[in-house]
Chains A and B, each alone.
Chain A
Amino acid sequence: GAGVSQTPSNKVTEKGKYVELRCDPISGHTALYWYRQSLGQGPEFLIYFQGTGAADDSGLPNDRFFAVRPEGSVSTLKIQRTERGDSAVYLCASSRSSVSEGWPQHFGDGTRLSIL
């Protein structure tokens, strides 16, 4: 597809479980971002990758959250010991680059995570 693809679209799990959320960026986009959007609010930045490395993870709320992008394309956001407060829509965005020109970020439709 031409856009950012996120899977699964919905994930329901129990408190304390481990979850992985996948993002497949637009082909050729080197920059990848994860945001979290709680109900009725704007997206909040979590982490940014330039290529394979996490260049800025200042938005990750705690050490239960971790993300990887081993080959510089697909990224996985991992949440350990999930809590009910982790329930939100997790959005992924990609852009051609982030270090020059301010290329626009294109968002996927997100993964709606519900922790019971």
Chain B
Amino acid sequence: QQQVKQSPQSLIVQKGGISIINCAYENTAFDYFPWYQQFPGKGPALLIAIRPDVSEKKEGRFTISFNKSAKQFSLHIMDSQPGDSATYFCAAGDWRAAGNKLTFGGGTRVLVKP
């Protein structure tokens, strides 16, 4: 059962453009939503994370928007650069529960064209 659905599977954006990736979750117990960036042959690296008590969080060119009632959250990459070309994963966890194990979306492969 896929508890976190991610879209699109892939996207191509021109340098300087905005990349937008969307995720939807089902489990209302989730209250921690990180985004990871993964390059080929490497492990996922944490980009930014949000808790449901805020609707938006920005760090540099990366912004998370969160809609608790819709159970959706998204990642916006502003001023996309060729170095941003990677696979991005959203995830969800319940940090209050023992473990905070993460449930990941299926990933979005982003290609930024120069």
Contact = CB atoms under 8 A, between A and B. Distances in A.
Nearest to A33: B101
B73 interface: no
Contacts of A109: 41-43
Contacts of A56: 98-99, 101
Contacts of A102: 32, 51, 93, 95, 100
Interface string B1-40: 0001010000000000000000000000000101010000
Interface in A19-46: 31, 33, 35, 40-45
Q: How large is the interface on A (under 10, 10 to 19, 20 to 34, 35 or more residues)?
A: 20 to 34
Nearest to A110: B43
Interface of B: 4, 6, 32, 34, 36, 41-46, 49, 51, 89, 91, 93, 95, 98-107
A-B residue pairs, 8 tightest by C-beta: A102-B95, A42-B104, A107-B43, A45-B101, A109-B43, A48-B99, A98-B100, A56-B99
